[in-house]
Structure 1
Amino acid sequence: MNSLKKNILPFLFVFLTMTSITQWSSFPIGNTFTDWTLFLTIMLTFLFQNKYWYDKSNKDNLWALKIYLFWVIICFIRGVFVAEFYWDFKNLINGGFALLMVYSVYTFTNPILVQLVFRKWLQIAFPLFILFILVVDIDAYGFYLIPISFLALFLPIINSKWKLIIVSVSLFVIIASVEARTNVIKFSVPILFSFLFYFRKMLVPKLLAKIQLFVFILPFVLLFLAATGIFNIFKMDEYISTKSNTVRVNSQGMEEDLLGDSRTFLFQEVILSAIKNDYVLFGRTLARGNDSASFGAGAAEELRTFRYERYDNEVGILNVFTWTGIVGVILYFFIFFKAARLAIVYSNSYFLKILGIYVSFRWLTSWIEDFNRFDIMNLFIWIVVGICYSKQFRKMSDQDFKIWMNGIFKRNNKKHSFISYKIPSNTTSLNGK
């Protein structure tokens, strides 16, 4: 494989990082045409470069991903017949790119490629942030710098220089955008998770597997409790008595309560819309959104669709539900669940087990945040999921991960010893997963 073929994906991700913060930029970074061109180029690169990067030994564990992609394509095709206006077709294409991004998991099962992606990002995109900080709102910091949060998961094996840089950047994002709750969570949690490594003798795989199961079931339990009026986690201000002032001024100069409920009404609108229009099971297709009294006026009056709908919401799982129905949500669940279980139970390195817990956490956050868009934030999620599905990654020991991680910060001339490691002997009864 020549140098161009080998390096094109990492460079495309650098461009994607820049276009991902367009909505917060005072300087035009791209438009619909350039964005779609970039998205299509990345997707085609995934498709045609799989022969170089994808190891077919991983195929047995990717059944949920295959079925999910097949279902997304069906929902896309249905959307072609459902779409009526220009905006419907535009939404269909954007939604298609966002959901089909899952296909990248195949490519991200390759340790060498993932290492190259992060190395190029640190070499090019990371220094350029100094320029972008001058033209973007603080809400964009967390999006642009999301790869740093991944590196924070490996703090125990990162050299002192980069450890200081990663922690400093994470604190910078947290402090700069403290009113953006998701940025605070996504940069503080990886640092906290990295400390699990020091408690590995206590937090054994069996315990981590139980924690994983609890985290995956938790959203359904909380949804039931909220629907029955027993307990609503989004209304914490009703359950917590605090003397501190939780109201902050956001980057737009507007007051925002950090404990305020900004999610309950979204769940209500999405679920009631699905029941009313009878698309609970199979979704409304990728061309349509949910009925929305809160946000629908923009589409109905300004875009003149005459439909009070909101195409996508801040809560990722609500978009998956609206576009692909309960069928899509179940398949989405299994993609994350299988990835986390493989990493926690069928891996040599404790860092893979930490990644399994992190994937469980990202499943949980998809019920709170995570816009479904083709951007660096969502691509980052699928990189982590791809690592968990990869037999090559799961064969690596902690020492192999240290060598691999050092190769991100500087070119590593050592042999990639992780390819010779075997799956732990206690998992052989499970068909070499």
Structure 2
Amino acid sequence: MQKILIKYFPWQIILMTLSPVVKAYALGKIPQAYDYIVYIMIAVTALWFYIANYKVINKEYHYLSFAYKVLIAYVLLGFIKNIFVPSGLYPFFKLNICTAFLAFGSIFIFIYEQNLIRKVIQLWWKIIPAVFCLTFWKVETSQHIIMLQFCLLFLIFLPCFSKIRKIVIVGLLVFVAYNGMQQRIDFFSYLLTILLYVVVKLCLRFDRKFFKVSFHTLMLLPVFFLSLFLYSGFNVLDMDSYVHDDIESSSAGRMTDDTRSFLFEEAYISAVSNNYLLLGRTPYYGYDSYWVTQREGEGLEVQGVAQRASEVFIVNMLTWTGLFGCFMFFLLYYVIGIDTLSKTKNNLLSVLCLYIAIFWIISWISHNMFTPSLDFMILYIAIALCLNPIYREMSNRQMKKTLKRILQ
């Protein structure tokens, strides 16, 4: 059974990538049913692999194993709690969130089945560019960047690709940048990806100290701004308070509007009021939102107040797993990055550590974790590459050759 599940795991990721196309062409509830099936398949495969290889995984990657056991426990405890305590989230939304928790186990598949990373990317190259070119006019423009999420990773390591594929990657990204960027976070992700590409181009000039200082700085940046807000009231998200020029995009609107602060405020007030600040209320619940309550018909209400999940990973983790879960993910990314930077002999893995740190930063404004998603799958691939002891021993030249083999 395990071999069958693993064999078709790359296809599950490609099917998830094709979700926007299904939404564009299928009728009725077919797109929702399609998503549910794909999410459940990914979650079951990840969980099955973890259980089947538990002894080895728990011994070799105990910190990752601990994090996954915590996520599994929250799913199980939430299921029991939901029997007795009403939730303001729709049933299938709760299912999606739980599959996202369980899909975290995909990281172990990528660690122990390294060839699957190459198979996923090979399938992507065979299917996604062609399907995108044939269907982009029908797919909602905001979904373009979702279908082409892998291109952001490819851009970082653009020197590892052939000339033709470089043209394809850049061409697709330029098209999306011009036509399909509907949110400010898209611009932010593009800029940071380009920055990492520049680092890759210059990486031979950087020493280990540069990468360690950069990683520490990036990981601690959200904590710094949070501390600054608690100490002085300065809110980095309220750009209108310190950026006095209007910055606008035809697709994303005003770039300085603060659309995140009230999410943190509502989630924190809800956590304190309902006494779940430390440990959360499990993924079967959202935080109490009076903003949603005022918008009639947009959510289920519990005791007169609607519950919701937000677009922000940290806000959702605070609700689902409390401060404990937020700290757990911070520590997880930190341990992986520092361990890799301390042991790797090549700078390309060091760049992936910076990618993990940037993912952590963006998690304070995006990466909602509503469902299994490509952004998290790419993160799991990056982590699996960083933790590979063979890759850590490679020189820059050897690692570049290996990445060419994996990414082509």
For normalisation by structure 1, the TM-score amounts to 0.83
Residue deviations 1:112-162, cap 9 Å, x none?
A: 211111111111122111233122221111111001111111122322222
Distance 1:216 1:2 in 2: 36
Which residue in 1 is equivalent to 2:96? Answer: 94
Q: Which moved more, 1:356-365 or 1:72-81?
A: 72-81
Question: Tell me, which stretches of 5 or more residues in structure 2 are unaligned?
Answer: none
Shift of 1:357: 0.6
Contact 1:179/1:248, CA 8 A, preserved across alignment: no
Which residue in 2 is equivalent to 1:415? Answer: none
Shift of 1:323: 0.2
Distance 1:284 1:393 in 2: 39
Which residue in 2 is equivalent to 1:36? Answer: 36
Distance 2:239 2:350 in 1: 31
- 1:371–1:85 Cα change, 3 Å: closer
- Look up the SS of the partner of 2:174 in the other structure: helix
Shift of 1:297: 4.3
Distance 1:106 1:153 in 2: 24
Shift of 1:313: 0.6
Distance 2:34 2:128 in 1: 19
* 1:218 matches 2:221: yes
Shift of 1:279: 0.4
Shift of 1:266: 0.8
- 1:21–1:62 Cα change, 3 Å: farther
Distance 2:293 2:385 in 1: 39
* 1:45 matches 2:45: yes
Shift of 1:365: 0.4
Which residue in 2 is equivalent to 1:327? Answer: 324
Distance 1:163 1:55 in 2: 40
Instruction: Please give the residue correspondences for 1:53-132 in structure 2 after superposition, counting only pairs within 5 Å.
Output: 62-83=61-82, 84=86, 87=89, 89-109=91-111, 110-132=113-135
Q: Which moved more, 1:273-282 or 1:152-161?
A: 152-161
Shift of 1:175: 2.2
Residue deviations 1:163-206, cap 9 Å, x none?
A: 22222222222222344222222233223212213433542112
Distance 1:147 1:404 in 2: 18
Contact 2:100/2:372, CA 8 A, preserved across alignment: yes
Which residue in 1 is equivalent to 2:263? Answer: 266
Contact 1:142/1:173, CA 8 A, preserved across alignment: yes
Contact 2:118/2:407, CA 8 A, preserved across alignment: no
Residue deviations 1:330-389, cap 9 Å, x none?
A: 111122112222332321221111000111000110001111121223222222222222
Which residue in 1 is equivalent to 2:378? Answer: 380
Distance 2:287 2:218 in 1: 27
Distance 2:296 2:105 in 1: 31
Distance 1:86 1:131 in 2: 39
For normalisation by structure 2, the TM-score amounts to 0.88
- Look up the SS of the partner of 1:40 in the other structure: helix
Instruction: Please give the residue correspondences for 1:123-142 in structure 2 after superposition, counting only pairs within 5 Å.
Output: 123-142=126-145
- Look up the SS of the partner of 2:253 in the other structure: strand
Distance 1:306 1:352 in 2: 50
Q: Which moved more, 1:87-96 or 1:123-132?
A: 87-96
Distance 1:210 1:257 in 2: 33
Distance 2:50 2:129 in 1: 27
Residue deviations 1:3-22, cap 9 Å, x none?
A: 97664122111111112676
Distance 1:178 1:103 in 2: 30
Distance 2:232 2:67 in 1: 33
Distance 2:100 2:356 in 1: 18
